[in-house]
Amino acid sequence: MSQYSTLKVGGPAEAIISVTNIEDLKRLIQWLKENDISWWIIGRGSNILVPDHGLPGVAIVLAGEFVSIEKLGNQPGQKEKSTSLRIGGGCLLAKLVHDCTTNSLSGLEFAVGIPGSIGGAVVMNAGAWGYEIGNLLDSVTLMDNHGEVFTEQGKNLGFTYRGWGVEPNTIVLYATIILTISSKEEIKAACRRYQELRIKNQPLTEPSAGSFFKNPPKMSAGRLIDQAGLKGHSIGGAKISGKHANFIINTGNASATDILDLMRLVQDTVYKRFGVRLEPEVHILGDKKHKS
């Protein structure tokens, strides 16, 4: 699984299956359920940590029609100069942001530089600079762990900070978002500004899973870790970035165990110092089964 994770760590899954359409995915999910086999949607691996012993089940990658971008245009009831896009759950955010910029569609500039897929972004309610993907969603097409497909309005998904209120074994098949038709040059300028901030403040050239911990209410996880004296601390090949303390990086030879040990050290140290228990933003796979 190290080949499917931006942290470049993780043992083997029993199987990795790429699925290209809804009917095949439905049959797969139903078969896995009938045979009591665990499964995980791994997206683009930008927000996952797989233990060194691997995954006792199947890792599923959404491909084919699930990486599509469909332009729906202005829909009834929408504001003037707005348009809708229907995006497959496996579509890369980077591809989507580029497509929006090319077509003068504004609203996703904040997502420039955020790795991963649109499905992962929805599940995590991905955001930056005060913006969140949940605020752009009109509707989402989902599949439950019985293989049943249904559509839910974005306003009913119970979005929270880096999360949503839907069962964890629900798959994002498609997301429909509403964007604004705007100036291409203004969109490009905003994307450049956000990307420059990322380059300045984040260790983008080293393997990581992005921000490792969620920010506690009205606090910064990175600041707490820094004030606890842990910036630059390492265990094995895992290190707390000297550029941004909320990034755990793989210096080249880290194991998943190194990263997990460093995670626990951060949690324990910050809790003893400040009384705050940091919660991982990264999904640690293998600890819960995606089945009923």
Q: Is the domain of 160 the same as that of 177?
A: yes
Whichever domain contains 40, its CATH number is 3.30.43.10
* pLDDT for the residue 253: 95
What is the enclosing helix (H) or strand (E) of 99?
helix 93-102
* pLDDT for the residue 50: 95
* pLDDT for the residue 279: 96
* pLDDT for the residue 223: 97
DSSP symbol at 45: S
Whichever domain contains 109, its CATH number is 3.30.465.10
* pLDDT for the residue 90: 96
Q: Is the domain of 35 the same as that of 75?
A: no
Q: Is the domain of 115 the same as that of 228?
A: no
Domain of 220 in residue numbering reads as: 203-284
Residue 117 lies in a domain: yes
In the chain, which ranges are E strands? 13-19, 38-41, 48-49, 55-62, 69-73, 82-88, 105-106, 127-128, 131-132, 137-143, 149-153, 171-181, 234-235, 238-240, 248-250, 283-284
Q: Is the domain of 87 the same as that of 164?
A: yes
Q: Is the domain of 216 the same as that of 109?
A: no
pLDDT in tens, the chain (292 residues): 999 999 999 999 999 999 999 999 999 999 999 999 999 999 888 889 999 999 999 999 999 999 999 998 777 767 778 899 999 999 999 999 999 999 999 999 999 988 889 999 999 999 988 899 999 999 999 999 999 999 999 999 999 988 899 988 899 999 999 999 999 999 999 999 999 999 999 998 999 999 999 999 999 999 999 999 999 999 999 999 999 999 999 999 999 999 999 999 999 999 999 999 999 999 999 864 333 2
Residue 252 lies in a domain: yes
275 three-class SS: coil
Number of structural domains the chain divides into: 3
- The strand pairing partners of 16, in sequence order, are 59
Domain final residue, candidates 141, 176, 200: 200
pTM of the shown model = 0.88
Any idea which residues carry the catalytic annotation? 162, 211, 281
Residue 47 lies in a domain: yes
Q: Which residues contact 98 (CB under 8 A, 6 or more apart)?
A: none
* pLDDT for the residue 290: 36
User: What dihedral do alpha carbons 99, 105, 106, 110 form, nearest 10°?
Assistant: -10
* pLDDT for the residue 51: 95
CA 122 to chain centroid, in Å, comes to 8
Q: Is the domain of 97 the same as that of 220?
A: no
Q: Is the domain of 80 the same as that of 171?
A: yes
For residues 277 and 287, is the Cβ–Cβ distance under 8 A?
no
Q: Is the domain of 134 the same as that of 59?
A: no
Q: Is the domain of 41 the same as that of 85?
A: no
Q: Is the domain of 196 the same as that of 207?
A: no
Residue 292 lies in a domain: no
For residues 157 and 137, is the Cβ–Cβ distance under 8 A?
yes
Q: Is the domain of 186 the same as that of 265?
A: no
* pLDDT for the residue 291: 34
Residue 289 lies in a domain: no
Residue 162 lies in a domain: yes
* pLDDT for the residue 287: 60
| Nearest-5° Cα angle at 126, 69 to 65 | 25
Residue 291 lies in a domain: no
Domain final residue, candidates 45, 65, 85: 65
Residue 87 lies in a domain: yes
Q: Is the domain of 59 the same as that of 72?
A: no
Whichever domain contains 211, its CATH number is 3.90.78.10
Domain final residue, candidates 200, 230, 257: 200
